[in-house]
Chain A
Amino acid sequence: MANLPKRIIKETQRLTEEPVPGINAVPHEDNLRYFDVSIHGPSQSPYEGGIFRLELFLPEDYPMCPPKIRFLTKIYHPNIDRLGRICLDVLKSNWSPALQIRTILLSIQALLGAPNPDDPLANDVAQKWKEDEKTAIETARQWTRTHAMS
């Protein structure tokens, strides 16, 4: 705690005191830079009803560099690969130190509601999405039932 920047302490406090609906982030007791995150699938999306678990880590030079985030729950999404890695500009080149944990998690939730197969990370999923969107969405719904609703 002694070496934890005031900003991280403030962010953690605010996440607990004013949680974002549908998003939950709890730091580990032994490592306050490591968070267990869960995001509810947005309504009107194939992920609706699912609860997706993620891990989030704040590197040493956060907020000058972005947090590292990965899906732990399997998800069928053109911008998320088999290992749970996320293709999202604000987590890479478009990171800004003015962004926060809560804003990043909101962006990820928005990404679930608006898949972008033109900037894919999982090529096979993106291909399917473009060729036969209806089947792809059904598969995503199926995966949500299998992996995110237990």
Chain B
Amino acid sequence: MTSATSPNPAPVFDIRALTYVTHVDDNLCCPICQSPLVEPFTTSCRHTFCSECITNALKASKTCPVDRTPLDTKNINMAPVVLANLVNDLTVLCPNHRDGLGCTATLPRGNVEGHLKEDCLYVTVACPGCEEKIMRKDLQDDVCVHVEEECSYCSGMHRKLDMKEHETVCPGLTTPCKFCGNECPRPQIPNHEAICDEAIVSCDAASVGCPWHGLRKESTDHSTSCPLMHIRPLLEENNSRLANLEHENKLLRRRLELSLVARAQTDIAESMDDQTIRVLTEQEHIRSDLERLYVSMQEMDIKQNMLSMHMSDNMRTKEEVAMIGAAVNNLRTQLHGLQLLMFRRQGLDQNGSGGARPTGASSQAGDNSVLGHARRMSDMPSGDRVKL
């Protein structure tokens, strides 16, 4: 199943995973693995299996897997050569056909091992220069493909391995134009295609509905005969006017919507009922009443201030009256003292001359009246005080 490993080791491949190109008769398949027989062996009871399959089966049970005849390894022998040749001649795809590796070879199953060992380009082998793994298809003259070298067209440095891929895009090379087939330097391809006579173009009037497609060199002829080309300026002008009108229409519509909204709001205001108006009037009245109340409150405040001023004036007057009363008392005491002094002097005078008595009496009466008057005067403040 596996191939030799040197000098270029071929990969191990699963022979039962091979894809057969044609349908394989069930009689050529092993009853155990159900794949086309691999190294067929036949039992003494004449059933045939792959050598690997029957060996494993006998490890599990010493009977024939098909008819349960007792068997041992000594009861199995290589199948006839004709059978081995039949299965080895079945056509298969190269195992590297799968996984996108891309070998397209179809070959007899018996040749697969040799193909992988010698020919298949999609087998990994060692690079002759540096031992890195590369595919056989990338081998070049027994030299290392990982060394960079100069591209002979663009002077860029690339690995030998990548050179072929580089050449497909190298700017130093020409490429045939996909329209006219003329070789053209790669960087100039876009410029060339823009003027290439063989390029497929559409009519200049395609924007106004001309379906014509054709070679660029024929487009001039078409243009002269294309009716849409003649009316194209007119159509384009109309189109632009239409676009302007649509734009304007949109603006007007928006403005109209706005004014409709405003109008609706006015209508709502007008449709307010009498009750609302009454409530509003009432509210106005209440507001003016409140203002009047406020004004009168302010007046009251002023009056109260004036009253408290009067009160303090009163207090001051009272204090003054009290002070005057005190002064009067003081004066009365002094007057009393003076009267005593006068009485004493009169007494001294009467002791000196009796003739002078009536005068003294009258003067005493006069003094008394003065005294009584003074007493009444001094009583006055106290009477006032009570009254106050």
Residues of A participating in the B interface, judged by any CB pair closer than 8 Å: 5-7, 10-11, 61, 63-65, 94-98, 100
In the complex, the answer to whether B33 meets A64 with C-beta atoms within 8 Å is no
**A95: which B residues are within 8 A, CB to CB?**
61
Q: Is B31 an interface residue (CB 8 A)?
A: yes
**A10: which B residues are within 8 A, CB to CB?**
34-35
**B60: which A residues are within 8 A, CB to CB?**
61, 64-65, 97
- Tell me the interface secondary structure of chain B in the complex: loop
Q: A7-B35, A10-B34, A97-B32 are in contact. Are A64 and B57 (CB under 8 A)?
A: yes
3 nearest CB pairs, A to B: A98-B31, A98-B65, A96-B65
Q: Is B344 an interface residue (CB 8 A)?
A: no
Q: Is B276 an interface residue (CB 8 A)?
A: no
Q: A64-B60, A65-B60 are in contact. Are A96 and B66 (CB under 8 A)?
A: yes
In the complex, the answer to whether B35 meets A98 with C-beta atoms within 8 Å is no
Which A residue sits closest to B31, measured CB to CB?
A98
**B63: which A residues are within 8 A, CB to CB?**
96
Q: Is B166 an interface residue (CB 8 A)?
A: no
**B53: which A residues are within 8 A, CB to CB?**
97
Q: Which B residues, 4 to 25, have Cβ-Cβ distances below 8 Å to chain A?
A: 14, 16-17
Q: Is B68 an interface residue (CB 8 A)?
A: yes
A61, A65, A94, A98: the one contacting B32 at CB < 8 Å is A98
In the complex, the answer to whether A97 meets B57 with C-beta atoms within 8 Å is yes
Q: Which range contains the number of B residues in contact with the other chain?
A: 10 to 19
Q: Is B362 an interface residue (CB 8 A)?
A: no
Q: Given known contacts A10-B35, A63-B32, A65-B60, what 6 new A-B pairs fall within 8 Å (CB)?
A: A5-B16, A11-B34, A96-B65, A96-B68, A98-B65, A100-B34
Q: Is B56 an interface residue (CB 8 A)?
A: yes
How far does the alpha carbon of A100 sit from the alpha carbon of B17 in the complex, in Å? Answer: 19
In the complex, the answer to whether B57 meets A7 with C-beta atoms within 8 Å is no
Chosen A-B contacts, 17 in total, with CB atoms closer than 8 Å, are A5-B16, A6-B17, A6-B33, A6-B35, A7-B16, A7-B35, A10-B35, A11-B34, A64-B56, A64-B59, A64-B60, A96-B65, A97-B31, A97-B32, A97-B53, A97-B56, A97-B65
**B35: which A residues are within 8 A, CB to CB?**
6-7, 10
Nearest-Cβ distance from residue A122 to partner chain B, whole angstroms: 27
| Most interface-central of A10, A11, A94, A98 (chain B CB within 10 A) | A98
How far does the alpha carbon of A64 sit from the alpha carbon of B34 in the complex, in Å? Answer: 13
**B66: which A residues are within 8 A, CB to CB?**
96, 98
In the complex, the answer to whether B57 meets A6 with C-beta atoms within 8 Å is no
Chain A proximity mask over B24-49: 1 for CB below 8 Å, otherwise 0: 00000001111100000000000000
How far does the alpha carbon of A88 sit from the alpha carbon of B109 in the complex, in Å? Answer: 40
**B16: which A residues are within 8 A, CB to CB?**
5-7
**B68: which A residues are within 8 A, CB to CB?**
94, 96
| Most interface-central of A5, A61, A65 (chain B CB within 10 A) | A5
Nearest-Cβ distance from residue B40 to partner chain A, whole angstroms: 15
In the complex, the answer to whether B65 meets A7 with C-beta atoms within 8 Å is no
How far does the alpha carbon of A10 sit from the alpha carbon of B31 in the complex, in Å? Answer: 12
How far does the alpha carbon of A97 sit from the alpha carbon of B32 in the complex, in Å? Answer: 5
